[in-house]
Structure 1
């Protein structure tokens, strides 16, 4: 998601990029004539495919430059390609939006960059990519390795313990994009650390400084340990951490406060609660001055802080704590205990239920979402939109035409074309941009298909036919239409970027 803060930073970056245009750069600009040789002559390259008009590219530029300068010392190259000048080259690598970042280990080994777009994150990510999945450590190298990143793992395993070594290597291969993994079979190092092999020590630059895993080496157990131990006991929600918390798979408890002092005071007071539910609920503070509007997404008032709420991230359910009550250790402890026990009903934001459905598109609100969208007897195509979204407005007449075709066909009782204002109604879906279109097929509501094609009536009909249970198809009236471009996304359209109003 892109926040108002990120958009503002993008505008600032745009103003500063011009003045820095003539400054020496550690980012190599490539063309179709130089790209191939550059990739072949460097073992590891991060390449950015960009467009000069792209706001997100402008925001990335200073971060990318800073990372390039830092990584130069480690012989890790950063490059960029202007896709407005090198369209064929960009198309050959499947570039569909800007910026697109790809990691090259030679011309045939290409993987997407999935890290954050900040200098420190890019640097950390690429250093991980430059190292083997597991770095073999000695008494001379282990000291520096422990502090090489915010979180690192070191396994103390005897050389003869093949099973533990294989398990650890397998996990390292799987999680290498997120963490640094090291290992040693030096018994003296294990003894100095106070552990008995096999064991894993996770070193971190926060909280208690390290955590130890001394159980049987099983993949699931080690992965769970790593995820829990690498998450701050009480972290901070912001643009750089929001997506990680949302994808963690466990509820997130927000502590809203306007000052750093108050956030620390409340965080300290609630630490025992966070410790009790560690691994089951993540706790994090959030700057209410910068991101107070996000309180509204949790069904809290946006003008009364401090505040507390729990979000069930998987189902996107919200449990706001009464803002008229004081936030204390005892009160929040009881609230969280009741939440875990299922004694608190989720807060549901919903527009009024329509008295009647007017027009061919079925209007869904929070209170009717389950009855309509999750009706197991029907294929339901639903558009998640925002009233301010220009792309949603452009889609509206075509979406009406689509709904009209199905409502007048033999499929009228089997296929529903629906829409929901995702800014005014709580929905269980993960929506990161507007419009988002999903098909919930009859008999398989837990496996919705997300639409990513051009927003034409014909293509939407094809999507319903291919992904719905009933394979329902209708005939579109043959009329002259303005050609429809591929669906714009937040990362591929400067206009869309300006329309993105998510706070985090």
Structure 2
């Protein structure tokens, strides 16, 4: 998912007084929190160089500083913690640091039972590995000392102090609230209709509500970032919720159609009759009222698989039903490619996405078939609109090599697909078949819907043809350093019998430019060693399946038996350092007598 993220991006007892944070005497040796600490973040990179950016001063006195020595003790004193694993040289870690510190200050000021902490993942490598930290910064949410599988906080689109605070506060409160009477229901629904987050009101049968509440809490907890959930056992309270929602929802307009759903009169009459009689929900399944900030504002629904709720039966289906309800309605049918939906796009409910590039006018003309397609594949494929005129879309335009002017002038939207993998760590891009049909007279959009449905099904089944980024093949490639592009990787790198040292670089990377003369001399030194190839590839313009790199330069040795050995940070990036590395790891013995000396370079 590296290229997509590039495209999208834009302990111990503590007493608090006016002087800041102070540690008890017994804790000073174990926990490092300096009183009133002022941090200047301008650490050196792993190679010792200083990054070119202006340092920012801010206080981190509310942030616990953890290490392997005090981590367990800290979790014992503060069971609920949000822990940031960072790298001092990482630009994203540096950008997050002042926001993280401000969030810690705010949470401390509110007196909440939670602490924010940080771990230098480079210095504490074993601790980072224990929690499978694979990138920086990684924020993990611990809820108890026994929590061995903490939830990850996604910083994409949620990196401001206020967003961190809101995320934490939602997890400290109950995932579900009860609205006990009509007045409470009216207040909750009125407020929720102004909220940018989806809301759900459930009417539980009074006879089994207490048995269902734990299941409801479990079901709602994973979705506190996507939906606010309330329930009632009072028929009149649910009727009041429906009445308020119907009034506000009917007066609202969303989408190009300009129509908001109004709950049908028969449903309202059922609710009102139930309220008058004091009976349980008027359907066999648990009744649900869905309030959305997008598409149709108000949706009448029921909780799938909840038929046994009235009898107090197993709650497994009840939990699945709430999950289905959230996945179905939490996102717009057509998700705009904006920062507001960034987290959903990089780690949301569906790893397969259909991307529609174009202008708002083009979207309006083809909106109906896209909405139908989204409903058909809900929970499996997101339909995403990329406005080519928005600055936020520049990264995706480059990623898919889309020309803004050409797409904007086309007769319709331009489509691509992407599969981020089940763990959202992979990234495979697709282009639909070239035989896009013309509009069908009398049924506008039907042909497009069928065409795109076939494309989405092919992606879901793994049958779509992937699109890989590659530079054109170089016309001349006989220098001391071989040039590799995406289309020539297999023929030049995965060559049986040869040891290939590959440098993955970026044209704008200062470290790559510094390495260039050394790397060229390395190629000259090994010119007579036919079993060794010194090669390089532009990592910003070429893709190779399975080849991972998070920074530049990244160097790998692909051995004669096709093993992949990374060049670690302990290897000096010089002619001598890389020569020693090759002599130590190349599978085909290197004849040192054929290496060119310094005077020949």
Once residues 564 and 211 of structure 2 are traced to their aligned partners in structure 1, the CA distance between those partners, rounded to angstroms, is: 40
1:257-268 matched pairs, under 5 angstroms: 257=359, 263=360, 265-268=361-364
148, 153, 161: which one aligns with 1:113: 153
Instruction: Give yes or no for the alignment of 1:139 onto 2:227.
Output: no
1:189-208 matched pairs, under 5 angstroms: 189-190=237-238, 193=242, 196=283, 197-208=285-296
Question: 1:276 Cα deviation (Å)?
Answer: 0.9
Once residues 204 and 427 of structure 1 are traced to their aligned partners in structure 2, the CA distance between those partners, rounded to angstroms, is: 41
253, 272, 293: which one aligns with 2:355: 253
Instruction: Give yes or no for the alignment of 1:229 onto 2:329.
Output: yes
CA shift in 2, pair 1:235/1:366, >3 Å: same
Once residues 166 and 363 of structure 1 are traced to their aligned partners in structure 2, the CA distance between those partners, rounded to angstroms, is: 60
CA shift in 2, pair 1:362/1:316, >3 Å: farther
Instruction: Give yes or no for the alignment of 1:338 onto 2:435.
Output: no
Once residues 91 and 144 of structure 1 are traced to their aligned partners in structure 2, the CA distance between those partners, rounded to angstroms, is: 47
SS of match in other structure, 2:367: helix
Q: Counterpart in 1 of 2:429?
A: 317
Structure with greater contact order relative to length (CA < 8 Å, sep ≥ 6): 1
Once residues 179 and 154 of structure 1 are traced to their aligned partners in structure 2, the CA distance between those partners, rounded to angstroms, is: 14
SS of match in other structure, 2:295: coil
155, 174, 197: which one aligns with 1:150: 197
Once residues 131 and 420 of structure 1 are traced to their aligned partners in structure 2, the CA distance between those partners, rounded to angstroms, is: 50
1:299-448 matched pairs, under 5 angstroms: 299-304=401-406, 306=408, 308-314=414-420, 316-319=428-431, 334-335=447-448, 337-342=450-455, 349-353=469-473, 365-367=485-487, 385-390=505-510, 421-425=538-542, 433-435=550-552
Deviation string 1:457-496 (CA, Å, 9 cap, x unpaired) is 9xx9xxxxxxxxxxx9667899xxxxxxxxxxxxxxxxxx
CA RMSD of aligned residues (A): 6.1
Question: 1:127 Cα deviation (Å)?
Answer: 2.3
SS of match in other structure, 1:94: helix
Once residues 420 and 182 of structure 1 are traced to their aligned partners in structure 2, the CA distance between those partners, rounded to angstroms, is: 51
396, 400, 423: which one aligns with 1:298: 400
Instruction: Give yes or no for the alignment of 1:59 onto 2:59.
Output: no
SS of match in other structure, 1:277: helix
SS of match in other structure, 1:282: strand
Q: Counterpart in 1 of 2:112?
A: 75
The answer to whether the 8 Å contact 2:356/2:415 transfers is yes
Q: Counterpart in 1 of 2:367?
A: 271
Give ranges in structure 2 of 5+ residues lacking alignment.
Answer: 11-40, 43-52, 243-270, 272-280, 306-316, 421-426, 459-463, 573-577, 579-585, 593-601
CA shift in 2, pair 1:164/1:66, >3 Å: same
Instruction: Give yes or no for the alignment of 1:101 onto 2:221.
Output: no
SS of match in other structure, 2:332: coil
Instruction: Choose 1 or 2 for highest CA Rg.
Output: 2
121, 127, 136: which one aligns with 2:169: 127
Once residues 451 and 121 of structure 1 are traced to their aligned partners in structure 2, the CA distance between those partners, rounded to angstroms, is: 37
Instruction: Give yes or no for the alignment of 1:215 onto 2:316.
Output: no
SS of match in other structure, 2:508: coil
Give ranges in structure 1 of 5+ residues lacking alignment.
Answer: 258-262, 461-471, 479-504
CA shift in 2, pair 1:92/1:177, >3 Å: farther
SS of match in other structure, 1:293: helix
Once residues 491 and 449 of structure 2 are traced to their aligned partners in structure 1, the CA distance between those partners, rounded to angstroms, is: 29
Instruction: Give yes or no for the alignment of 1:282 onto 2:392.
Output: no
Deviation string 1:225-250 (CA, Å, 9 cap, x unpaired) is 53342122233323554453244322
CA shift in 2, pair 1:274/1:417, >3 Å: farther
Once residues 368 and 223 of structure 1 are traced to their aligned partners in structure 2, the CA distance between those partners, rounded to angstroms, is: 45
Instruction: Give yes or no for the alignment of 1:46 onto 2:82.
Output: yes
The size of the alignment, in residue pairs, is 436
Question: 1:28 Cα deviation (Å)?
Answer: 0.8
